[in-house]
């Protein structure tokens, strides 16, 4: 296990009413150092939780990406790397890891004019706050010929239940708010050298090859 979290700890505030689609710990795009990579995520709602209303959103990467055509694998990596330098959270010492699915799409489709705000140039911007609402996120994907509603899986996780899924083949988010202490999250993975991270990245990016030709 490489991470353990309690969403909105007891005594904190409720979450906002949605969470954008993402991959925990992110997908290494251009890694330069050994670092932990999350492979599986477990979500658990404690038995004591009451009036749970939030719904977990799961989006199978291959099913979503098969809706349109994409650049060749080599060009795709070049685009994502270039995007990381200008708009993503690029670090000259650590490289670039991207956790937000919309940013991966933004980088894959935008050669010169990315749609989303630049993490590099907008002071105080926080990844995960790219959209003000769930409808705005859905609209972003639709503008890129990707219909979330056609592939998204909704999981109504109730008290005492546990959900385990592949973190790098299923982007996940949330619809609705969670109360303080309502969700416990465990992340399982391993520490990988840059070469192993690149191998993993290339396997994940084969989901783009499932696009129609």
Using one digit for the tens of pLDDT, what is the confidence trace for 20-62? 999 999 999 999 999 999 999 999 999 999 999 999 999 999 9
Give the pLDDT confidence score for residue 81 in this predicted structure: 96
Q: Which residue do the tokens 């465990």 mark?
A: 186
18 band by pLDDT with thresholds 50, 70 and 90: very high
Mean pLDDT along residues 180-194: 95
Q: Could you give the count of Cα atoms lying within 13 Å of 12 in the half-sphere of its Cβ?
A: 15
| Tokens read off for 212 | 């129609």
Using pLDDT thresholds of 50, 70 and 90, give the confidence band for residue 178.
very high
pLDDT value for 24: 96
Look at residue 22 and give its three-state secondary structure: strand
| Strands (DSSP E) found in 126-209 | 153-155, 162-166, 170-175, 183-192
CA 70 to chain centre: 19
Mean pLDDT, the chain, rounded, equals 92
Distance of alpha carbon 93 from alpha carbon 33, whole angstroms: 8
Which tokens is 114 given?
């990315």
Is the pLDDT assigned to residue 190 strictly greater than 80?
yes
11 pLDDT more than 80: no
Give which of 13, 24, 5 is closest to 171, Cα–Cα.
24
Cα torsion 42, 44, 52, 15: sign: negative
């Amino acid at each position: 296990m490489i991470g353990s979290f309690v969403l909105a700890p007891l005594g904190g505030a409720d979450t906002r009413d949605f969470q954008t689609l993402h991959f925990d710990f992110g997908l290494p795009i251009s890694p330069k150092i050994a670092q932990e990579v999350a492979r599986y995520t477990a979500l658990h709602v404690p038995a004591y939780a009451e009036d749970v209303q939030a719904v977990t959103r799961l989006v199978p990467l291959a099913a979503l990406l098969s809706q349109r055509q994409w650049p060749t694998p080599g060009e795709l990596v070049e685009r994502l790397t270039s995007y990381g330098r200008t708009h993503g959270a690029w670090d000259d010492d650590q490289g670039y890891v991207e956790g937000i699915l919309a940013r991966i799409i933004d980088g894959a489709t935008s050669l010169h004019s990315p749609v989303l705000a630049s993490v590099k140039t907008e002071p105080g911007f926080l990844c995960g706050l790219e959209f003000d609402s769930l409808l705005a996120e859905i609209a972003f994907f639709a503008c890129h010929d990707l219909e979330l509603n056609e592939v998204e899986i909704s999981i109504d996780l109730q008290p005492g239940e546990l959900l385990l899924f592949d973190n790098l083949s299923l982007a996940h988010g949330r619809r609705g708010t969670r109360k303080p202490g309502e969700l416990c999250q465990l992340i399982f993975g391993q520490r990988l050298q840059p070469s192993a991270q690149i191998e993993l990245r290339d396997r994940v990016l084969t989901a783009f090859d499932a696009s129609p030709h």
